[in-house]
């Protein structure tokens, strides 16, 4: 058993997951100057979204919601960091407890509810970070504020885009979290199209000298027909890519007992149970869009073999979150090293 596995089983699992997350994140930020001087892992650069990524693996949105630890996370070996989800208005998120481990499935259930400091505060934070000259590739993931009605969603996303696009290497429209009421309804093409148009227009207004790549993040729970419809919309609307996939509301095929699942309750499931569906969605998207769009594969990537299969399915870039929690701070470098060995 690896030292981190022992620590995780004997200590970390005995403490509330959200408390552990905040403690671990503080440690990552504090250790950033030291980990950044660690021996660099061989990696194969990737050209995507008009950017040169140092390698395929990045950190998915959700870990650093408020853009407070970009450098520390990059120092662990992530080639890009996606912050957020950031909403137009600051919000506390859902009541606690709202984060749960399903150890038998190497999975996490969360119903955080887009808890974040809001686009204005995060924009100021990113402005200060950019002023330091840091070079980490930064994605900014934006979502709908809970207080904003569904029919005003485009305005809310547009507000966030205007504030955050000046500091983003790429923007992501998140319409696929299950923890904001009505949000997933926005994945319907007729509702998604005006949101994407508003974000694109506003990003171009605030960055007239540089086109910020725009992606959409979709759920694994979409039907195959809806995945194809989103792919067609992405092509028609000039999107730069799709992130597949977010968390799932499904609880099918889990090793965790029904009683435990009932106790945990609602929320988005991430981790190993998503592996097959997320891979299938990437494969469907690539078959539909050809080579024209960047696809980011996320969901259930734990091993080097998982990463290889996701790339073989059509992913240009990879992201992870839950495996990082279960496997520990050395995990990103192990994945990057394994992929680099493939040449």
Strands (E), 144-271: 170-174, 214-218, 241-244, 268-271
CB 192 within 8 A of CB 175: yes
Give the span between the Cα atoms of 277 and 281, in whole angstroms. 6
Distance of CA 102 to the CA centre of its chain: 20
Q: How far is CA 5 from CA 2, 9, 257, 299, 317, in A?
A: 5, 6, 23, 21, 27
Q: Is 180 labeled as ligand-binding?
A: no
Q: How far is CA 110 from CA 5, 106, 165, 240, 250, in A?
A: 22, 14, 27, 28, 13
Q: Is 256 labeled as ligand-binding?
A: no
Nearest by Cα to 171 from 147, 137, 194 = 137
Q: Is 245 labeled as ligand-binding?
A: yes
Quote the DSSP letter at residue 248. Answer: B
Q: Is 96 labeled as ligand-binding?
A: no
Q: Is 4 labeled as ligand-binding?
A: no
* Other beta carbons less than 10 A from residue 266's beta carbon: 11
Q: Is 65 labeled as ligand-binding?
A: yes
CB 296 within 8 A of CB 38: no
State whether residue 218 is helix, strand or coil: strand
177 in catalytic set: yes
Q: Is 62 labeled as ligand-binding?
A: yes
Q: Which of 177, 223, 250, 270 is catalytic?
A: 177
Q: Is 174 labeled as ligand-binding?
A: yes
* Other beta carbons less than 10 A from residue 5's beta carbon: 12
Q: Is 247 labeled as ligand-binding?
A: yes
Q: Is 115 labeled as ligand-binding?
A: no
Q: Is 110 labeled as ligand-binding?
A: yes
Q: Is 271 labeled as ligand-binding?
A: yes
Binding site for FMN, by residue number, is 61-65, 85, 141, 174, 217, 245, 271, 300, 321-322
Catalytic residues: 177
Binding site for substrate, by residue number, is 65, 110-114, 174, 179, 246-247
Binding site, by residue number, is 61-65, 85, 110-114, 141, 174, 179, 217, 245-247, 271, 300, 321-322
């Amino acid at each position: 058993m690896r030292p981190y596995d022992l620590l995780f089983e004997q200590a970390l699992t005995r403490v509330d997951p959200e408390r552990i997350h905040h403690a671990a994140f503080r440690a990552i930020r504090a250790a950033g100057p030291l980990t950044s001087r660690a021996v660099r892992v061989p990696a194969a650069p990737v050209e995507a979204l008009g950017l040169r990524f140092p390698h395929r693996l990045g950190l998915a949105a959700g870990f650093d919601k408020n853009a407070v630890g970009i450098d520390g996370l990059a120092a662990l070996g992530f080639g890009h960091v996606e912050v957020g989800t950031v909403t137009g208005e600051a919000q506390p998120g859902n009541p606690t407890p709202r984060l749960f481990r399903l150890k038998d499935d190497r999975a996490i259930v969360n119903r955080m509810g887009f808890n974040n400091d809001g686009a204005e505060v995060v924009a100021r934070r990113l402005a200060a970070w950019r002023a330091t000259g840091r070079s980490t590739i930064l994605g900014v993931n934006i979502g709908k504020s809970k207080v904003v009605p569904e029919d005003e969603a485009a305005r809310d996303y547009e507000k966030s885009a205007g504030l955050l696009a000046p500091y983003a290497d790429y923007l992501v429209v998140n319409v696929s979290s299950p923890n904001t009421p009505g949000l997933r309804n926005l994945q319907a093409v007729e509702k998604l199209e005006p949101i994407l148009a508003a974000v694109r227009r506003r990003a171009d207004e605030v960055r007239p000298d540089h086109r910020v790549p725009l992606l959409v993040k979709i759920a694994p729970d979409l039907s195959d027909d809806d995945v194809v419809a989103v792919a067609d919309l992405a092509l028609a609307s000039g999107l730069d890519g799709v992130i597949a996939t977010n968390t799932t509301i499904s609880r099918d095929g889990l090793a965790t007992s029904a009683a435990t699942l009932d106790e945990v309750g609602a929320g988005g499931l991430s981790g190993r149970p998503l592996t097959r569906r997320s891979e299938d969605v990437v494969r469907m998207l690539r078959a539909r869009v050809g080579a024209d769009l960047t696809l980011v594969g996320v969901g259930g990537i734990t091993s080097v073999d998982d990463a290889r299969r996701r790339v073989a399915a059509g992913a240009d870039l990879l992201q992870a979150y839950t495996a990082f929690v279960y496997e520990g701070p050395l995990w990103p470098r192990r994945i990057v090293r394994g992929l680099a060995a493939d040449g």
